[in-house]
Each structure stands twice: as structure tokens, then as C-alpha cells.
Structure 1
Amino acid sequence: MPFHLPFLPRRALFVALVAASFGLSVPQVGQAQVTSYKLAVAEALAKDDSIAAFYRARDFAPIWTGASAQDLARRQALFEALAQAKSHGLPATRYGADGLIAMMGTVRNAQEQGEVEVALTRAFVAYAHDIQTGILKPGDVVSGIKREVPLRDPALTLASLMQNDPRAAIRALAPQSQEYARLMKEKMLLERKLTQGGWGPVVNSGKIEPGQSGPAVVALRNRLIAMGYMGRSVSASYDPDLKAAVMQFQGDHGLTADGVAGRDTLGQINIGVEERLQSILVAMERERWLNLPGGLGKRHIRVNLTEFNAKIIDDGKVTFETRSVIGAVPADRETPEFSDVMEYMVVNPSWYVPRSIVVKEYLPKLRDNPGAVGHLEITDSRGQSVNRAAGFGQYSASSFPYSMRQPPGPSNALGQVKFMFPNKYNIYLHDTPSKSLFNSEVRAYSHGCIRLGDPKDFAYALLSRQTDDPEGVFQSRLRTGKESTISLETPVPVHLIYRTAFTSAKGRINYRRDIYDRDARIWAALSDAGVVLPTQGS
């Protein structure tokens, strides 16, 4: 028996179809229809082992298309979630809600009920996958993202739906972090601002300083008012209130907070709502990639590459923070994104020069002058020093048979300590003798590893959980001048992330430059997948 509904407006039709009870409730029909239903489900799930196992375990009993109040509640919860997919930055058309409604309206027999049952399950599983762990496979979009996305077993997700209130179970699919909630709130605010026309005219000026007045100052003031950085004012002068607003904006955008609206500051001020909204949507997708079942760790280390800093987080609060230097912009020097676990630190480390640096940077110098880079030891496969007098002109990048090492010392490239979370990318955190680089606004200078501005204090913070005298323990090793290892009694998760938009508990949204052009590529992929922005002024 099909659903038979009179003509209704779209919303009423949706409600009627979702709320309607299926005329073919499997427990109440003959064996032939039961068999037909089961065969339809089994055939449709032949290539989906996990979902098929879920249905076999319940003898193919329906979870959506039965006549029970529980089935009705799950249907309603599913369609409500699909209707709200856009609020999470998901592509609303991806889950085929309209097609599902059409299928539900034309069910005439047990086989068609089985087909609808599977279609609803597929829509739910697709939605659950996307909202839990993201739409994209990150490494396919950006090769520098080495993150392993924590995919869930669809059968376990379906089981959770069955064991809990369906609305609560579906709400729990999304990341439960405060970061995700705040990004979602900012998304709604920006969408509203975009439909209202944005932040108004851009500021056409090269530089505006305190004390100036005129149209450019008025445009700057109006732009900052629209962004919420200051209250309404009709002043045409660059007064202290405007300077304070500029400084707040600069701090929120990783700029030197000097209160002068120079080229870089105006460049950031003139970025439109659409581009900022894209950054928010990319950040939400990235947060889904980090939606680990066990969380990020009660204590963990977080390095936001675009922010150029490293933080120790304890129970959700930043307990230590230091500036960092990351990989330079050429692709072969960019710092990758991944998560691992820090196990130990090395005090007075040697620097074992990566092969890529040996053959690209040092071998050409050695060919011209065997005495070049004299601060480095050249060793053979047995670890014995190589006599430089024989020269190196006969070697190419592929045939050079030696390794290079810089012994511990004050000029060592790794400084006085390195922090190890062993990984196949040979990335770690470390000290550096090049302290002046930490004064730069954009700190992308390394070969890929992450240099810390305050490495000793970072070490003390890590060791504070396992000794009453972390500084004494560290300094006693340092004074020996010899390379030694201090293990962390409780290893600490490390997350190397890349966020051009991120939030804080009390402050405004923060934005940073897309230094590696990664978020631009992710947005393009999201757009290709069907994620859309509202139309300006609509």
C-alpha cells in the first residue's frame, strides 16, 4: 500500500512523509513479504560488509521503515539533521533528502520498503561520516597533510543510534569541542553579515597613522565598526579610540600591534566576509579531521603552524606558550601536519644532517672546497671520520656515500635541546642559536622542523609533571656538555595543525595568513564537493 497524500506545500509534505507510518511493517506481514524485504536489504548491502553485518545481527529488522514509534523518531531525527547540514558547512544536496522523500512516498511492496530502508541507512552513514570526520580525505587535497583521519565503523555508529535517543545520538556525531562550537557560531554571524552586504567599502589608502584625518580615516573607522571592533562614531580623525581598535585588530590577525594601519594591516582589513567565511568553513572541516575518539589528550602539545607558536594544553587550558619558527615556503621545506606522541628530549643534541640538506646544500660546497662547512663531521657507514684531503669532486647527489653530523655545542643547529616524537617525516621541536628570527612577524625559515623561542622553559614545563625540580634536572644534564636523553614518564600527544581561523574562549575570532596556500586548496575541494556560501545581499 503506497503513501497517499494530497497536494501539500513542501514543508507540510516533508512533515507528513516523515511522520507517516509505513504500511508494510515487517513484523506484521506474511513470510513472503518478509523474505522479499530481507532479500532487498541483503542485495543492496552486498558490498557494505559493516552495515550488512549490523542488519544480519538484527535479522534485518528495519530501523527506519517500521511502524513503531522508535522508527518514526529515527526518521524524524534523520531528516531534521539533513535539513540542518548546511549549518555545519556540509553540502546539503549530498545526502539526497528530496530523493528519499520521493522514495518514501511511493513504497508499494516489501521489496521497495527494503530499498528505502537501505537508502535511509546510507544517507545516515554518509552524514555521520561527514560530520564526524570530514567531507574530504586531507592527503588527497594537500600532500603536506599527513593526518590520519579517525574514521568510525558505520556499524558502531548505527548501534549508537539504536541505543540512544535518536536526536541526541545524531547531535553527538559532530565534534564536541568548544572550538567547533565557537567556529559554528562565527559561521552563522558571518553568513548573516554577508546577506546584509558585508563590511562595507574597502579602505583605499597605503598607510594611515594616528593624528591623520580625512576620508580614508572615515573609511577605516566604518570598516572597523562594521567588524565590531569599536562603537559607532562620526569622528573623522585617527583618535585614540581608533588606534585601540586597530591594535586589537592587529593582535587578532597576527600583526605587529603598533596602532598604525600600514599596508599589511589594511590588506587584512580589506579582506571580505566571503573569504573569512571560507576560512571558517575550512577550519570546521579541519576540526572534524581532529575529532579523535579519545580526544586530543588531557595534556597535549599543539603547534598551529600559521600562528607560529607552540602551546602546552592541560585540561583544555594553555599552561605554556612560546613562539616558533616553522618550515619555509618552498614545498620541500614546508612543515607537514600530523599527530604523534612526544616520548623524550635530548639535551646537548648532535645534529645529524638530513640527506636532502647534505646533497642539496653542502655537497656543492664540498666539491669546490673540501674544507667547507668545517663545523660538520663527515663520517662513513661505520661512523668513522672521513679524510677531507681526498676531495669530493667525484661524487654526485646520488653517489655521495657519507653522512654529516654537527657535534653538541653552543653553535649546534639544534641548540641545546630537541624534543622527540619519533615519526617517519623526521620532524621534531628544538632549540636554535638563531634567536633573532623569533622577532619576525612571519616565521617560516626552517627546513621543516619546528624551532622554539623558549626551549628551556618548554622543557621545564614538560618535566614539571615528573619532578619537583625540573630546572635542576635539566640543567644538571646540560652542564655535562654531553648528549643525553630524558624520557617523559607520561608521553605527551603532539598535534601539528594549520588553522587560518581559530577561536579563543574570551576573545574574538583570530585569522592568519595562508602561508602554504593549503586552506585555499581545501576550500576549492569543499566547493567542488558542494559546500556553498550564501549570496551577498540576499
Structure 2
Amino acid sequence: MIQALARRLSVVALASFLFSATPLVAQSGGGALQQAIAGEVARDAALREFYASRNYAPIWVSGSGADKRRTKALFDALGKAGDHALPAASYRVDDLTRAVRAASGVSERAKVEVALSRAFSDYAQDVQSGVLIPSRVTSEIDRAAPRRGQAATLAAFVKSSPSGFLRALPPQTDQYEHLIKEKERLEKVIGAGGWGAKVSGGTLKPGMSSAQIPVLRARLARLGYGRASNSAAYDADLQQEVAKFQRDHGLSPDAVVGPGTMSELNKTAAERLSQVVVAMERERWMNFPLGRRHVWVNIPDFHVKLIENGRVTFETRSVVGQNRRTHRTPEFSDVMEFMVINPTWNVPYSIATKEYLPMLKKDPNAVSHLQLLDKNGNRVSRASVDFASYSSSNFPYRLKEPPNDGNALGLVKFMFPNTHNIYLHDTPSKSLFARGQRTFSHGCVRLADPFDFAYALLKGQSSNPKATFQKRLSTGRESVVMLEDPPRVHLVYRTAIGQPRGAAHYRPDIYGRDAAIFSALTKAGVSLRAVGG
């Protein structure tokens, strides 16, 4: 911490020096400097494009007031890079400091000019669009972070207020602000030694008496739930605090401290901070307008929300993909174009061959609710097929389930056509929504209240959304309803959810994606900080 503080003070001192001193650049002719800059960027296409557009005039080292303000603003921002959980060391601030102070000739000044532009570009990209390329971490994240071209970013910077431009680069969302505050809070917790002793032993339930209950009370109190005491009784007050903790962490609020609750209780501040750091990176990946009307599907939260003009107008529980390589729900964004009432389920080929074909080999009359079709869509008699002669590589038939109350898709599905073949839908398996961790699907997202979701989507195009929907439903026939105000759909994965007040809420890393992202961030130079005092 002391080293980090010293480094920041050094950066502030340097910025002050650059802003007040008369640069050596002013002593030499501009033409020679421009020629030297041209040589420095000759093999860098992006910087060459930017500097060529301004006849290789400098933006950092000319000695002008504008250049001084830009340089000071850049060093101020680089000195605070750690506040955004960025790889501060990668910007080589110490090397830049020495280079700026040592520059005396035209060649050295040209090198400093280009080095500052590169540091600016790296920082601007990292803080605006993220340190990592999402798909390089895992193919399950199909998201292109909004990366502005290097030349375009520099050109915009030159035309703007330097400090204002740099302040506007990070996501300007409430969530990002909440996460920064949570990051600062956790850094102080780590600096103070953490949350104390962990809870151990077996399950703790209301009405019990145990030596671990004072430990539970103390840990909850440090986490912000209730007060510590030496009472070994699991009383009503403690029950209330445990249930609140469970709700804030996506657990069933039964007040029973079993393995799941105990695991979440015993997470260290450093583990929580790593979740926050990952959430900040994910927020940067989505540093673009989400849409006036959008659907927010937070996979590990097991909830779906409809958000209109910044306000949640509908929310329901969800079931997401199983934690298997082929079943995990991917992350991506698209546009919901229509809903299908009384849908037909066209069984995906992978499910047909991997799950149903082995059943049909044993019993041709298995899964009798599904129809067998040839490649032209004609129905085929099962008696005419030797299922044993086929495998997952040569099965020539399709399976489908016509509309019915027991259809795997339920009675409505919500479509945002995409390469992943993922959509939201109803389900006949309603009992699964009572579970805490709801990872049961093949990847699509099942909704607990699909009819109400349909009514919410239709409210802008029908004076009586419920009647409109029910009329189509009552026919029993498949029916497509186009959405006149199609919302954006964002399938996201947030295990740290910042709150306007108090600590963030957390969710388990059900697919291990956060761990993979944090590992990649660590390799890129991001580190956790502890703040004392």
C-alpha cells in the first residue's frame, strides 16, 4: 500500500512539474520534431494514421498550454488506474516519468510523444472497453466489446477537454459506480484483516444451541447482518439475519446454515473483491446503450427482468442451462422480435441423437409424444425404422412435439433468432422454480411466469394484452405475434451486483466463468489491493 501511495504521489508530482515547467521541446524547431515523430510511428498503422492527419504535429510535448493540460490529465488518470481494477503496471508510468524528465533532444522528445500516445491508447481502451477480449477467455461469451479505433480516440481526445474526456471513458452507469464503491469497501476490509473466524462444523438450524453460533453471529455482524454476541442459541433474531443474508446471496431464505449457506458465509473479502473486479470488467464489455426497453437475463441470479426507461417493470424466476459443456447458457445480446403462442418443439438434432435415439433403440415406441419426420417434413411410422442401424452421425430423421399442454416449451416461447439457438420459454416443469440453484435446461432460459411476461411485452401494442394473448392461446394452434416495440435482450453473467446502499449482493459462480476471467485479468497484470486505515 505504501509503495502504491508513493507511486501515486510521484505521478501527481510529475504531472504538476509537466504543467508548470517550460518544456525543452520549445527550444527546437517544430519541423525536425515532426519528422522525428513520423519516423517513430512509421511501423504503427494506427498512430501513423492519427499523426499523418495532423502533419505529425505533437499533442503532448509542444510546450503549448493545451499539450500541458493533456499531459497532466493523462498522468492523473494513469495514477488512478488501479481504482478501476486495471493493470496499472502495464502503462509503465515509472518509465514514462523517467523518459519525460530525461528528454533533451528532438529524437528523445519524439519517442516520449509516441510513448505517451501509446499509454493513452492502452489506458483508454482498457477503461472504456475492458482489458480482455471476452471470447478469448471462453467461447461461451459471444460478446464484442465496443472498441473505438486508436486514431479516432486520439482525434476525439485532442478536440475535447482532456480531463473531461478521460473521466467519460469508463461506463457511466449506476452499476459501475456501485461496484467501484464496493471495491473500495472491500479493500478496506482486507486491509483491516478480513471478516474474522469462519463458521465450521455441521448444519445450524433455528432452535439449536452450538458453540459455533457465537462465531456465526460475529461473522454475520462483520458482514453487516445484526450484532455479535456470545449467545449460543439460534434465536429468532439470528434467524432473521441469516435469512436476509441468504436473500442477498441468491440462496433459499430458509435460515438453515447448511453447506451452501456456510460456503457463501465463509467467502473471504479477497474472494468477494475478485468477483467485483470481474463484474467491473464485464460492465466495461457492455459499455454501450442497453436499450430504452430491454430484457436482462442474469444467468447466475436465476432471474429475468424487463427494464423500461431505467425501471424494472417485470421480473420472474428462471431456469438456465446445466453446468455441462454443451448445456451452459451462453452470454450474448440480441433483439427479441416475436413470440410464438402454442409452439411446436422442433427437437434439436443433438438432443434427438444423444438422448432420444438410445431410448428408441431400446424401444421404438419410447417418447411417443414426439413425431418422427423425414427430411421433407413427412411423418414416418416408427415400425418402418430400424433405429439400431443409426448413430448420432447418420440419423436421417427429425423429432418434433406438436403444441400441447405438456410440450417441452410450454405454451409460449420468446424469440430473438441467434446462432446459439437460445430463447426464453414456458415449461411444464414448474416444480424446478422452487429450487435455489436452477441449472436444469439444455441452455435455453425457462420462465416461471411466461404469461405475465407476454402481457408485459404486449402492453404497448394492445389495449388489453391479456385478452389478446389468451385469444390466441385458446385456439390451440401455433401462432406468431410480432413485437411492435422489440426489446434488446442481454444474457449476462453477474455474480457481484452493486447496490445503491450497503454492500453488494453476490451469486455463486455456477459455470466457473468468473474464475476464468479473474485468472486472465491476473495474467494481464490486474491485482487486488488492500487499503489500511
Give the Å deviation of 1:366.
Answer: 1.9
Match of 2:306 in 1: 312
**Larger mean Cα displacement after TM superposition, 500-509 or 257-266:** 500-509
Q: Tell whether the 8 Å contact from 1:358 to 1:404 is kept in structure 2 after alignment.
A: yes
Give the Å deviation of 1:229.
Answer: 1.5
CA displacement 1:438-471 (0-9 Å, x = unmatched) = 1111100111100000000000000111111111
Match of 2:316 in 1: 322
Q: For 1:124-139, what aligned pairs fall within 5 Å after superposition? A: 124-139=120-135
Give the Å deviation of 1:380.
Answer: 1.3
**1 CA distance for matches of 2:12 and 2:156?**
30
SS of corresponding position for 2:446: strand
Give the Å deviation of 1:502.
Answer: 0.8
SS of corresponding position for 1:108: coil
CA displacement 1:226-280 (0-9 Å, x = unmatched) = 1112245454433333222211111001111122322221221111111001000
Match of 2:201 in 1: 205
Match of 2:181 in 1: 185
Match of 1:156 in 2: 152
Q: Classify 1:12/1:266 alpha carbon distance in 2 versus 1 (closer, same or farther; 3 Å).
A: closer
Match of 1:219 in 2: 215
Match of 1:18 in 2: 18
Q: For 1:209-248, what aligned pairs fall within 5 Å after superposition? A: 209-231=205-227, 233=229, 235-248=231-244
Match of 1:250 in 2: 246
Counterpart AA for 1:374: S
Match of 2:165 in 1: 169
SS of corresponding position for 1:129: helix
2:279 corresponds to 1:278? no
Give the Å deviation of 1:214.
Answer: 4.8
Q: Tell whether the 8 Å contact from 1:198 to 1:536 is kept in structure 2 after alignment.
A: no
Q: Classify 1:208/1:40 alpha carbon distance in 2 versus 1 (closer, same or farther; 3 Å).
A: same
**2 CA distance for matches of 1:419 and 1:43?**
56
- Structure 1: gaps of 5 or more residues: 1-8
Match of 1:437 in 2: 432
Q: What is the TM-score with the length of structure 2 in the denominator?
A: 0.94
Match of 1:96 in 2: 92
SS of corresponding position for 1:491: coil
Match of 1:68 in 2: 64
Give the Å deviation of 1:208.
Answer: 2.1
Q: For 1:472-511, what aligned pairs fall within 5 Å after superposition? A: 472-506=467-501, 508-511=503-506
The alignment yields a C-alpha RMSD, in angstroms, of 1.8
**Larger mean Cα displacement after TM superposition, 442-451 or 377-386:** 377-386
Counterpart AA for 1:18: L
**1 CA distance for matches of 2:16 and 2:120?**
20
Q: Classify 1:306/1:426 alpha carbon distance in 2 versus 1 (closer, same or farther; 3 Å).
A: same
Q: Tell whether the 8 Å contact from 2:11 to 2:79 is kept in structure 1 after alignment.
A: no
**Larger mean Cα displacement after TM superposition, 133-142 or 45-54:** 45-54
**Larger mean Cα displacement after TM superposition, 502-511 or 190-199:** 502-511
Which of 349, 370, 376 aligns to 2:370? It is: 376
Q: Classify 1:483/1:276 alpha carbon distance in 2 versus 1 (closer, same or farther; 3 Å).
A: same
Match of 2:447 in 1: 452
Give aligned-pair identity as a percent: 49
SS of corresponding position for 2:195: coil
CA displacement 1:134-166 (0-9 Å, x = unmatched) = 111111112211112111122232233222221
Counterpart AA for 2:23: F
Counterpart AA for 2:14: F
SS of corresponding position for 2:278: helix
2:337 corresponds to 1:336? no
**2 CA distance for matches of 1:57 and 1:11?**
31
Match of 2:355 in 1: 361
**2 CA distance for matches of 1:531 and 1:302?**
28
**1 CA distance for matches of 2:235 and 2:358?**
57
**Larger mean Cα displacement after TM superposition, 89-98 or 203-212:** 203-212
SS of corresponding position for 1:139: helix
Which of 490, 495, 511 aligns to 1:516? It is: 511
SS of corresponding position for 2:62: coil
SS of corresponding position for 1:94: helix
Counterpart AA for 2:366: A
CA displacement 1:384-426 (0-9 Å, x = unmatched) = 1112112222212111111111111111110111000000010
Match of 1:5 in 2: none
**2 CA distance for matches of 1:134 and 1:412?**
42
Q: Classify 1:507/1:490 alpha carbon distance in 2 versus 1 (closer, same or farther; 3 Å).
A: farther
Aligned residues: 523
Give the Å deviation of 1:281.
Answer: 0.4
Match of 1:6 in 2: none
Q: What is the TM-score with the length of structure 1 in the denominator?
A: 0.93
Which of 188, 192, 195 aligns to 1:196? It is: 192
Q: Tell whether the 8 Å contact from 2:195 to 2:268 is kept in structure 1 after alignment.
A: yes
Counterpart AA for 1:498: Y
Counterpart AA for 1:218: P
CA displacement 1:41-74 (0-9 Å, x = unmatched) = 2233334434322222222221111111111111
